[in-house]
Amino acid sequence: MRKSKALLFEMSRTGREGYSLPTCDVPMQPLDRLIPKTLQRSEPLELPELTEVEIIRHYTELSTRNFGVDTGFYPLGSCTMKYNPKVNEETAVLPGFSFIHPCQSEETVQGALELLYNMELSLKELTGMDRFTLQPAAGAHGELTGLMVIQAYHRHRGDHKRNRVLIPLSAHGTNPATVSMAGYDVIQIPCDDRGLVDLKALQAAVDDTTSALMLTNPSTLGLFEEDIIAIAKAVHDAGGLLYYDGANMNAIMGYTRPGDMGFDVVHLNIHKTLATPHGGGGPGGGPVGVRERLAPFLPVPLVDKQGDNFCFNYDLPNSIGKVHSFYGNFGVVIKAYTYLRMMGAEGLKQASSDAVLNANYLMNLLKKTYFLPYDRPCKHEFVLSARPEKKKGAGAGDIAKALLDRGFHPPTVYFPLIVEEALMIEPTDTESRETLDAFSRAMEEIAKDIDQDAGKVANGPYNTVVGRLDEVRAARTPILRWRKE
Amino acid sequence: MGGKHYLPLTDEDRRVMLDTIGVESVEDLFNDIPAEVRLRRDLDLPPALAESEALAHLNDLASKNKNYCSCVSFMGAGVYDHFIPSVIRHVTGRSEFYTSYTPYQAEISQGILQAIFEYQTMICQLTGMDVANASMYDGGTAVAEGAIMGCGATRRSKVLVSRSVSPFYRDVLRNYFNSRGLVLEEIPLKDGCTDRENLDKMLDDNVATVVLQQPNFFGMVENMSGIADMVHGHKATLLISVDPLSLPLLQSPAEYGADIVVGEGQALGVPASFGGPLLGIMAARDRFVRQMPGRIAGETSDSEGNRGYVLTLQTREQHIRREKAASNICSNEALVALAASVYLAALGPKGMREVAEQCLQKAAYAREKITALDNYKLAFPGINFKEFAVIVPGDPADLNRKLLEKNILGGVSITPFYPELENAMLFAVTEKRSREEIDILVRELEGWS
């Protein structure tokens, strides 16, 4: 049944309290003596007044209006919405991790430093890189950090004319946005008819103004860039560096490594590949790994081991500085570390193997019904085009809404941009064949529904707590906060 | 093999699936990886652990850390030991929230979208601003992105930042600015606060943003009156980094004319967690909304008129605008913002004021007691909220080692960031500290001098 949910503010009743505090046991001084009247708040503080009972019921109801990996299949392409193991949630909240202050002396946080150190060791091996910083708090933050390191490297060599970063057209939106944020110009490299980076176009585009190429491999089409050796050579010969966007690392663990492919800088999305939950939009983690020659430019501090002790290393005179107030999302790193320790080398490789098998299986089921523009073995994800369905009256976005009615989270839609009406599907390693079969059947039903009554599909969803929401209205007349009437 | 219990495919499944695909083995699906770059050995990682072994290993690492449960903490400098009501973890522990992605599909994400909308509202209520976003990574990146937002809004490229702003935030700011080719100048200190005369001299028509912090890094409440006029006289924007827990007591930034308000939200029910995940708060006046980075939830309705929420104004964002986006931020700290929302809802206006007052009173008590000791003196006279800088008679690291023997996590040494202040420490006193705990700290300090 459809209904709106009252806001906290609408539930508020004057006089309700949802907290308890100890009585203040120090001698109280008059407020005005501690803070002059002129510096005190004069406007009343308008926050809702609720008891704990109402708060927990409010959020419990909100949670029933939300879909997570624990609710069901979540094949959101390039987001690697795999299962988030519960043990990770337990380890991250151990008091010895949760309740430590970032400015504590090294001898009081040896366990935390050891964890960071171990994590770096594992990430180096997983990616073939020489040093890591765990400071970036998300993938895009890692991208920015990586580009800053590349920039510092070129500048340090007195190479100041490298003001352009090359990006394939299939790249995530964060790549070009990051390039701009780092003060670079974006040069787009087209894809060829295989869906891969157009090598000739790349070779023509690289020159002594090329700072780096940012590449996701496998690409957002789920295709491995087979020409990676030639790509790396073209960029390196021109004096540029190779940046690996790790969003799709879940496809290749144990099969190949960015370092072995020739990449100089890597970021991983530990909230994707290493199974930490995405939290409704974060916190994530975007560790950045680099080859030896770039290590001097990483953010401070690095974590080192001296004898049996672990310590922070701030002695990096050429470091770019810091990208986070402290050491990044430590709490998320704990979860990823726990995952790595649970999986081991064999488990990680099996995860990538199953992720790729699941994607190819589902692709083969779905290509009977839907148009697959790049029909070749994929890695962890694949992209369908709903162009034929769009012509009938219901496009990728409508198919997404129809999936909501069938209890599935939809794929990523309208991305990558090089495929019209794109449906980008990433089943991940943690889904069963039954789930993939059920999803495939749902997609077939939707295709039939479109044939019969595309208009009905275009007006969905029908079984959700609210109907299709008017995004145009939200943007044209923005209501971005509640206000008292 | 590790992780079997997360991998549902059986060998039989794999065989059937390979048949369906029409290949012999999974290896065939990796043939497109050139032989030269294939890893021809097993990854050299520690052996897989059973769940009980993983828990034991992580427990072992955790037990090597001194923490707030085994010690009494007076550490602050942006991350504080405030009480975290139990209800928060029970809300953020709902896996419908924590296992969801960014709410692109609004109709099945109403829970998190409404929670973000409520969070935005409460941040506006605290700061007096018109609009808030769904969060930034932390206080440092919020300061940096806020300053950049000011540059975008004014089409200028110079920013002035006070030396009383957290050195941790200034490090991040400097880095973001270096990379982008923006100009950053530091406003000197006077008596532990922003030197207003210097600010006035440094202001010119090239300045995009003036960055101040309230209370500042030394825990001092700066006199903000007249600053906005000074800044706006040059058509620059005033950005204030706040401790949200101070706002029930202190003038809201809106009251003294701020244009952009950022801050670290960790104080709002979030564990210190060795400095992350934290919560970057960002709010501003209406006119900045098109330059604002990050996600913003907005109200709308469905065709039947049911109220609902969507991510909106997305033409600012990277996935739509790509290289012309206001920022590259994609993942933020949504679950931490949810924790902060629950905190604010639980405390309400009265509880928030009580927490703030207890911090103020207890910090004032500790400040008085400590500075009454021989050889300890306040680094700067003035008004403090919940922390204060003290010049101690010796090396702060030695003092902290001594305090640790009594299970006290002492102050944060700030001399590395302010070399002119020898043996300076920052002590934070939250509502969690009892008079007895403060008295023990004072006694230990007395014994050390």
Model confidence band, residue A266 (pLDDT cutoffs 50, 70, 90): very high
Domain count, chain B: 2
B393 and B284 co-located in one domain: no
A387, A393, A443, B165 from A451: Cα distances, Å: 13, 9, 13, 62
Query: In CATH, what number is assigned to the domain containing residue B395?
Result: 3.90.1150.10
Instruction: Please state the pTM of the whole predicted model.
Output: 0.98
Nearest to A240 by CA among A204, A289, A207: A207
Q: Is A298 on the interface with B (CB under 8 A)?
A: no
Tell if the CB–CB gap between A34 and B383 is shorter than 8 Å: yes
B287 and B412 co-located in one domain: no
What pLDDT score does A1 carry? 66
Pick from B341, B357, B381: which residue ends a domain?
B341
Interface of B with A in 244-303 (CB under 8 A): 247-252, 254-255, 264, 271-278, 289, 295-303
For residue A210, give both structure tokens: 């090329």
Provide the residue range defining the domain that includes B102. 86-341
Which domains, ranges and CATH numbers included, belong to chain A? 8-64 (no CATH), 87-343 (3.40.640.10), 351-471 (3.90.1150.10)
Round the average pLDDT of chain B to a whole number and report it.
97
Interface of B with A in 203-232 (CB under 8 A): 221, 223-225
Chain B residues with CB under 8 Å of A2 CB are: 302, 304, 306
**A371-386 per-position pLDDT tens digit:** 999 999 999 999 999 9
Best of A7, A74, A101, A180 to disrupt the B interface (most B CBs within 10 Å) is: A101
**A270-329 per-position pLDDT tens digit:** 999 999 999 999 999 999 999 999 999 999 999 999 999 999 999 999 999 999 999 999
What pLDDT score does B325 carry? 86
Q: Is A328 on the interface with B (CB under 8 A)?
A: yes
* Interval B183-191 mean pLDDT: 97
B283 and B394 co-located in one domain: no
B423 and B435 co-located in one domain: yes
Pick from B341, B371, B391: which residue ends a domain?
B341
Chain B residues with CB under 8 Å of A350 CB are: 1, 3, 7
B128 and B172 co-located in one domain: yes
**A207-262 per-position pLDDT tens digit:** 999 999 999 999 999 999 999 999 999 999 999 999 999 999 999 999 999 999 99
Query: In CATH, what number is assigned to the domain containing residue B273?
Result: 3.40.640.10
Cβ contacts of A378 within 8 Å, gap of 6 or more = A218, A221, A222, A223, A356, A359, A360, A363
Asked if residue B112 belongs to a domain, the reply is yes
**Å from B233 to nearest chain A CA?**
22
What pLDDT score does B317 carry? 82
Kindly state the percentage of chain A with pLDDT values over 70. 100
B208 and B226 co-located in one domain: yes
What pLDDT score does B316 carry? 83
The beta-carbon neighbor of A328 closest among B44, B276, B306 is B276
Best of B59, B174, B331, B429 to disrupt the A interface (most A CBs within 10 Å) is: B331
What pLDDT score does B323 carry? 84
Burial letters A428-464, b for 16+ CB under 10 A, else e: bbbbbbebbebbbebbeebbebbeeebeebbebbeeb
What pLDDT score does B319 carry? 82
DSSP at A473:
H
DSSP at B316:
G
Asked if residue B11 belongs to a domain, the reply is no
**B408-423 per-position pLDDT tens digit:** 999 999 999 999 999 9
**pLDDT surpasses 70 at B89:** yes
B139 and B266 co-located in one domain: yes
Q: Is B64 on the interface with A (CB under 8 A)?
A: yes
Asked if residue B172 belongs to a domain, the reply is yes
Nearest-CA residue of chain B relative to A367? B21
Q: Is B443 on the interface with A (CB under 8 A)?
A: no
B318 and B380 co-located in one domain: no
Peptide bond into B215 cis (omega under 30): yes
For residue B39, give both structure tokens: 């890893």
Q: Please report which helix (H) or strand (E) contains residue A434, including its range.
A: helix A433-458
For chain A, how are helix, strand and coil distributed in percent, rounded to 5? 40, 15, 45
**pLDDT surpasses 70 at A178:** yes
What pLDDT score does B246 carry? 98
Nearest to A243 by CA among A322, A313, A142: A142
Asked if residue B269 belongs to a domain, the reply is yes
What pLDDT score does A148 carry? 97
Model confidence band, residue B315 (pLDDT cutoffs 50, 70, 90): confident
**pLDDT surpasses 80 at B449:** no
Dihedral (C-alpha) A233, A237, A241, A247: value to the nearest 10 degrees? -20
Interface of A with B in 15-54 (CB under 8 A): 16-19, 21-22, 24-29, 31, 34-36, 38-50, 52
Asked if residue B45 belongs to a domain, the reply is no
Tell if the CB–CB gap between B18 and A91 is shorter than 8 Å: no
What pLDDT score does A28 carry? 96
For residue A200, give both structure tokens: 């000739």
Nearest to A409 by CA among A84, A72, A116, A58: A72
Tell if the CB–CB gap between B328 and A468 is shorter than 8 Å: no
Nearest 5 degrees, angle CA B20-CA B25-CA B29? 85
What pLDDT score does B144 carry? 97
Asked if residue B409 belongs to a domain, the reply is yes
Tell if the CB–CB gap between B275 and A275 is shorter than 8 Å: no
B76 and B95 co-located in one domain: no
Interface of A with B in 188-207 (CB under 8 A): none
For residue A178, give both structure tokens: 């990051």
B310 and B365 co-located in one domain: no
**Å from B337 to nearest chain A CA?**
9
Round the average pLDDT of chain A to a whole number and report it.
97
Q: Is B309 on the interface with A (CB under 8 A)?
A: yes
**Å from A82 to nearest chain B CA?**
9
Nearest-CA residue of chain B relative to A11? B345
B418 and B318 co-located in one domain: no
In sequence order, what are the beta bridge partners of B281? B263
Asked if residue B5 belongs to a domain, the reply is no
B277 and B409 co-located in one domain: no
Helices B435-448 & B334-371 angle (0-180, nearest 10) = 60
Tell if the CB–CB gap between B90 and A56 is shorter than 8 Å: yes
A212, B123, B347 from A481: Cα distances, Å: 41, 9, 20
Tell if the CB–CB gap between A474 and B310 is shorter than 8 Å: yes
Pick from B302, B325, B341: which residue ends a domain?
B341
Peptide bond into A301 cis (omega under 30): yes
Asked if residue B402 belongs to a domain, the reply is yes
